[in-house]
Amino acid sequence: MPTTLFQDRDIAFLLYELLHAEELVERERFADYSREAFDAVIQTARQIAEEHFAPHRTRNDQEEPRVENGVVVMVPEVKTTVKAVAEAGFIGGTQDAGRGGMQLPHVIASASIGYMEAANVGTASYPMLTAGAANLIAAFGSEAQKEQWLPPMFNGRFTGTMALTEPDAGSALADLRTAAAPQVDGSFHISGTKIWISGGDHELSENIVHLVLARIAGAPEGVKGISLFIVPKKLVNGDGSVGAVNNVTLAGLIHKMGWRGTTSTLLNFGEHGPCVGYLVGEPHKGLAYMFHMMNEARIGVGRAAAAMSYAAYLHGVDYARTRRQGRIPGEKDPSKPPVAIIEHADIRRMLLHGKAAVEGSMALILQCSRLVDEQETAPDAAAREHATLLLEVLTPIAKTWPSIIGQEAISNAVQVMGGYGYAREYPVEQLYRDNRLNQIHEGTNGIQSLDLLGRKVTQDKGAAFKALVVEMQQAIADAQGTGVADLAAEFAKGVERMVATTKALVAAMPADPARALANANIYMDLVSRTVYGWLWLRQATIADRALATDAGMREEPFYRGKVHAARYQMLWELPKTESDAALLQRIDTVPFDMKDEWF
Amino acid sequence: MPTTLFQDRDIAFLLYELLHAEELVERERFADYSREAFDAVIQTARQIAEEHFAPHRTRNDQEEPRVENGVVVMVPEVKTTVKAVAEAGFIGGTQDAGRGGMQLPHVIASASIGYMEAANVGTASYPMLTAGAANLIAAFGSEAQKEQWLPPMFNGRFTGTMALTEPDAGSALADLRTAAAPQVDGSFHISGTKIWISGGDHELSENIVHLVLARIAGAPEGVKGISLFIVPKKLVNGDGSVGAVNNVTLAGLIHKMGWRGTTSTLLNFGEHGPCVGYLVGEPHKGLAYMFHMMNEARIGVGRAAAAMSYAAYLHGVDYARTRRQGRIPGEKDPSKPPVAIIEHADIRRMLLHGKAAVEGSMALILQCSRLVDEQETAPDAAAREHATLLLEVLTPIAKTWPSIIGQEAISNAVQVMGGYGYAREYPVEQLYRDNRLNQIHEGTNGIQSLDLLGRKVTQDKGAAFKALVVEMQQAIADAQGTGVADLAAEFAKGVERMVATTKALVAAMPADPARALANANIYMDLVSRTVYGWLWLRQATIADRALATDAGMREEPFYRGKVHAARYQMLWELPKTESDAALLQRIDTVPFDMKDEWF
């Protein structure tokens, strides 16, 4: 059976031909690795994805977690799968070997986890949330906290959550009301309600470690008065064993359109007695800490979207190659056998859109992960700084665009499969439901767009944006003299549009920020399509050069596919930014001027 | 509670101010009606929608039909609802009073049924499919067939289905294999398998009347050898009572992403014994008959999409007005109370998109229904002919675009509601799942696009297309001298693009039809956005004129909303056709040239 997770050849292309991941082994942190070792890690992840995750994707959706006698019950495969992930070391994948981590580069860990998310995101979220919570402790916790919490989180004894959102403060973290009362022993008593807490309750682990945002009594209003706490479901004894319950109460499970395998919970803290929390780092710095972690979490959401849409795309291709139906235009003889539907031009259009979308999304995600590696381990400071700038501007895009263009790709896979695509007997409809969440959680796409235009593009006199433009110009220069110079010329027009549009918006910002930011979502669309153009131009240039070699010609269909998908991106997707640019450059106010009472 | 089905004021605007439905009462067929009577019919439909359909929308989704001991079991509210619809006369709504119908204009029947579909499409499909099957018998059946089958279908004793699709011939009707063997008594024995038959089995009625496409032994291959048959689930005795079973066997229920209340069945005909079918009309003309009916069915699918997305949009507006969260840009004081989220520019953008989409879709659907009335009852032949031409070109658009732009609107409603929009505790996620089917069934949107470009636009030397352009030019002329002349100027540019693009494609067709048709889907996008521009320009012109009167100013917010949504359509949606037009005019071949092995 062909894989319907990722195309392995593409992942290898992205890692090594596009992003030169093998160069990382020259760095001290990764000195124990080799390309072969990276590949072995990815193969392990793929095997876990296929043997553990994929087989219960449907079951985990159809028999979603439920509460019985106050206990969350779910299909048993989830527990064995989380155990397999922990045993293989992926929860602490990028963490220090000295703390029980694998000390992997982010780019290798990210590709690995992507296989699991492509196979079954509902189950993958438990280890991934645990990793996110652990990373936060690793970055900002005290030495004692690291020693206490990290080992059981890495080995799967404990799982973790991120508990930010409250019923009356969804995207508006400034309005958080959960309270933390200082105790004489230095701990705090937490009281409040959190909603949409993924993995907030279950029996998968001995304990659940909630990372909770709350206000210490007397803290300032708004975002400057929020602190971060470790709040375990059960208290932990001195010997590391799990003790008494800590008054974190499951007030209800939320039932969702998709992503059903992951419990989504309403949690009450301290409702029936003291709920102990341990401050992480300094008071009132919780949001800054959370945002540090959130950047990785945002790339993680983008990766989930890329992975799910990639899987759906491959299902669509597989179906289109085997399903025979109809005849091509001009063939009127009904006695001729029907053709495979991939012969129909509109089917190819939908799948080519999918290829450009999902391979483009994985390119973006792995690019971002590679930049995290640069940021953390590049030998010289200028390279680290450049990587940091690029990450600033790329992260909101990585969160947003894979969820948007990926949903289009999944919708196209549904459409390619027709009625079968809409039926629950086939996997793509679940992917359509699952991926829709990625536009919402971890900061809605609207929030990301405001972050991009209102913060990332303008801060430091536009340094991050300029770093991106430099990269784009480099890609254009690099394509000169190749067989894809025409695509570089198309892309250059797109870059010009992006730059001119950005200038116009930045110029309009001081006089009326609300008006200049009103169409941030359209700006996100424009920049995202341009960023995908950048990633595709680079892929096409590499592929074109490969096709000039004997080795490359032995893989001619693969490289031709890369060039052709780049052509699609440049001639079909990038021109959509023309009308966006016109609208943005005139600082259009049509939605801005709309009045409540006119709806 | 505000309605979340349609905005009644908008439906009245579309029916009377835009489409002058009250003029129909001057025609003999509708002479017993008045505007007041029309309104009473619509109010009855709305009441049934609110009292019967809406209350079990969620339950019908969550407790979907299942088979127990060979019998289809579903929630009991479906049966009482179908009964209420039949008793109110809506199944034979447009049929002759002499046959038990209500003899309503299509435009009034369509608005009425839309309320039911907005409330609960899973249940609405049973009476609607029955009406579709009955209409086919009314149009092409013999007098005896009409006498036998129509009364029990109109009064709800019998329900109906359309049984076209087979497992190996989805969109490719030419490859149908179901066989019809002639019997000495003039009847036929039907044998074969049909799939995706909505309403194909249940216990809602005494009998189910399947309208089945099959081949009479010895018929020509392809579409010219298909005949249409009435195949009841149970044979009917001479006195009209229901007799023995007719060997139509339920082979299985298909479980879908949405639209779960409607059984979707795999049916075997004649597997366990003779299955009697009665030929409708002449042999080998089945597809032509079916296509006659299909035009109404296609408008019906568009109406369902318009209705569902309209409901989702209203839920989004309602939520955005009541949910308070965050502050507007520039307001940094966290002690200020949060604002209603409709104050956020991006929320207004999403809802304004929704308004333009869903009111535009209902305008298109009611326009089409109004044209059916013209086609059937206009006093002079030229008007009937003009209506027929317009319907030819508008029908594939009416099937397609409400399902596309409506899904965007529903997705925006989900996004406006954030996590709540994604939760099954709220209604919009179901609408997102339900409406996705509308892009697939009743001829996929890809098929519609080929129909539009390959047939409707080219046939009769482009007469249908020219009729549409004449209408558009009339709308532009009519807007001159009003406050929306600037929108007319924008729209005129869109019409020019559409005309130039159409010319280029038609010119390319003879030399290489496959290539010219390859991007038919993009052409559909371009024409659809232009058609919505036409509908919105007319609405804006009417609204602008109203605002110059005292009566109009008493409803100022309503009319201002119409003008502003038209502005959005013209300045935000219509310009998206620019890149489409460029691509189409160069007869782009990027997807066309993509090779199977490159994926």
Chunk chain A into consecutive blocks of 10 residues (it has 599) and report each block's average pLDDT, rounded to whole numbers. Answer: 81 98 98 98 98 96 95 97 97 95 98 98 97 95 97 97 87 87 97 96 97 95 93 96 97 96 97 97 95 88 98 98 87 84 97 98 98 97 98 98 98 97 97 98 95 95 97 98 98 98 97 95 98 98 98 98 98 98 98 97
Kindly determine whether residue B444 and residue A418, on different chains, have CB atoms separated by under 8 Å. Answer: yes
What is the structure's pLDDT at A3?
A: 63
Beta bridge partners of B160: B209
Q: What is the mean pLDDT of chain B?
A: 96
Give yes or no for residue B522 having a pLDDT over 60: yes
What is residue A111's three-state secondary structure?
Answer: helix
Of A58, A43, A62, nearest in space to A115 by CA: A43
Length of chain B equals: 599
User: Residue B139's CB: how many other CB atoms inside 10 A?
Assistant: 14
Q: Which residue of A has its CA nearest to B168?
A: A325
> How many Å apart are CA A372 and CA A368, to the nearest integer?
6
For residue A587, the 8-state DSSP code is: T
The answer to whether the CB atoms of A571 and B588 lie below 8 A apart is yes
| B551 touches B559 (CB < 8 A) | no
Is the overall model pTM greater than 0.90, yes or no?
yes
Chain B residues touching residue A557 (CB < 8 angstroms): 595, 597-598
Contact A411 B351 (CB under 8 A): no
| B571–A590 C-beta distance less than 8 A | yes
Choose among A6, A10, A11: nearest CA to A108: A11
How far apart are the CA of A142 and the nearest CA of chain B, in angstroms?
A: 31
Section B337-363 average pLDDT: 97
Q: Parallel, antiparallel, or unpaired: how do β-strands A248-253 and A66-68 relate?
A: unpaired
Report if residue B369 sits inside a domain: no
Residue in B222, B441, B575 nearest the CB of A582:
B575
Identity of the amino acid at A435: N
Chain A: closest CA distance from residue B246 (Å): 27
> Which neighbouring-strand residues pair with B227?
B214
CB contact under 8 A, B446 and A415: yes
Asked if residue A416 belongs to a domain, the reply is no
Instruction: Give how far B258 is from chain A: nearest CA, Å.
Output: 8
The answer to whether residues A247 and A124 belong to one domain is: no
Of A174, A324, A599, the CB nearest to B355: A599
Q: Do A334 and B175 touch (CB under 8 A)?
A: yes
CATH of the domain at A178: 2.40.110.20
Same domain, A554 and A479: yes
Is residue A135 located within the same domain as residue A209?
Answer: no
Domain identity same for B459 and B582: yes
Alpha helix (H) residue ranges in B97-229? 106-119, 121-140, 143-154
Question: Which of B553, B594, B595, B596 should be substituted to probe chain A, the one whose Cβ sees the most A Cβ atoms within 10 Å?
Answer: B594
Q: Is B36 a catalytic site residue? A: no
Residue B479 counted as domain residue: yes
Token digits for B551? 């009566």
Which residues of A are designated catalytic?
442
What is the distance, to the nearest Å, from the Cα of residue B541 to the centroid of all Cα atoms in its chain? 26
CB pairs under 8 A between A and B: 280
Same domain, A169 and A245: yes
Q: Does A480 share its domain with A558?
A: yes
Question: Closest residue of A to B566, CA-based?
Answer: A590
Going by DSSP bridges, is the β-strand pair B276-280/B227-232 parallel, antiparallel, or unpaired? antiparallel
Asked whether the beta carbons of residue A346 and residue B165 sit closer than 8 angstroms, the reply is no
* Catalytic member of B442, B471, B490, B573: B442
Q: What is the pLDDT of residue B511?
A: 94
- Nearest Cβ partner for A576 among B425, B579, B595: B579
B592–A330: do the CB atoms touch at under 8 Å? no
Q: Are residues B89 and B171 in the same domain?
A: no
Per CB-CB distance under 8 Å, the chain B contacts of A334 are 174-175, 221-223
Which residue in chain B has the smallest CA separation from A439?
A: B415
Closest residue of A to B523, CA-based?
A: A346
Q: What is the pLDDT of residue B3?
A: 63
Distance, CA of B528 to CA of B532 (rounded, Å): 6
Mutate to test the interface with B, among A342, A404, A422 (most CBs of B within 10 A): A422
CB A78 within 8 A of CB A123: yes
- Give how far the C-alpha of residue A425 lies from the chain's centroid of Cα atoms, to the nearest Å: 27
- How buried is residue B321: exposed, middle or buried, by Cβ count under 10 Å (0-12/13-18/19+)? middle
| Residues B178, B109 share a domain | no
Interchain pair B590, A567: CB under 8 A:
yes
Residue A27 lies in a domain: yes
The DSSP symbol for B169 reads: B
Same domain, B19 and B145: yes
The pLDDT tens digits of the residues spanning B486-502 come to 999 999 999 999 999 99
B195 shares its domain with B274: yes
Q: Span B414-428, mean pLDDT?
A: 96
Residue B348 backbone dihedrals phi, psi, to 5 degrees:
-65, -40
Residue B321 belongs to a domain: no
Closest CA to A106 of A399, A381, A375: A375
Tally of domains in chain A? 3
Which domain covers residue A196, as residue numbers? 158-284
Closest approach of A276 to chain B, Cα-based (Å): 28
What would the two tokens of residue B430 be? 């179901």
> Is A55 within the bounds of a domain?
yes
Q: Which residue of A has its CA nearest to B514?
A: A329
Same domain, A124 and A199: no
> Are residues A198 and A128 located together in one domain of the fold?
no
**Model confidence pLDDT, tens digit, residues B71-129:** 999 999 999 999 999 999 999 999 999 999 999 999 999 999 999 999 999 999 999 99
Q: Kindly determine whether residue B560 and residue A595, on different chains, have CB atoms separated by under 8 Å.
A: yes
d(CA A516, nearest CA chain B) in Å? 10
Smallest Cβ–Cβ distance between B557 and the set A338, A513, A598 belongs to: A598
Identify all chain A residues contacting B310, using CB atoms and an 8 Å cutoff. Answer: none
Mean pLDDT of B537-562: 98
A560-569, B8-17, B95-104, B172-181, range with the lowest pLDDT: B172-181
| Closest by Cβ to B257, choosing from A327, A433, A579 | A433
Residue A439 with chain B: CB contacts under 8 Å = 411, 415
Degrees to nearest 5, angle at CA B310 with B304 and B312: 105
Measured in angstroms, the CA of B174 and the nearest CA of chain A are apart by: 7
Contact A217/A179 with Cβ under 8 angstroms?
Answer: yes
Interface test with A, best of B64, B223, B257 (most A CBs within 10 A): B257
Tokens of B190: 């039907």
Of A97, A125, A154, the residue at which a domain comes to its end is A154
Nearest chain B residue to A428, by CA: B257
Dist CA B569 CA B3 (whole Å) = 25
Q: How far is A113 from chain B (nearest CA, A)?
A: 23
Q: What's the CATH number where A16 sits? A: 1.10.540.10
In this complex, the residue of A349, A425, A557 whose CB is nearest that of residue B597 is A557
Domain assignment of residue A467, yes or no: yes
The 3-state DSSP class for residue B176 equals: coil
B354 assigned to some structural domain = no
CB B210 within 8 A of CB B160: yes
Q: Which of B99, B129, B154 is the last residue of a domain?
A: B154
Residue A252 β-bridge partners: A266
Higher pLDDT, B221 or A545: A545
Domain final residue, candidates B135, B154, B173: B154
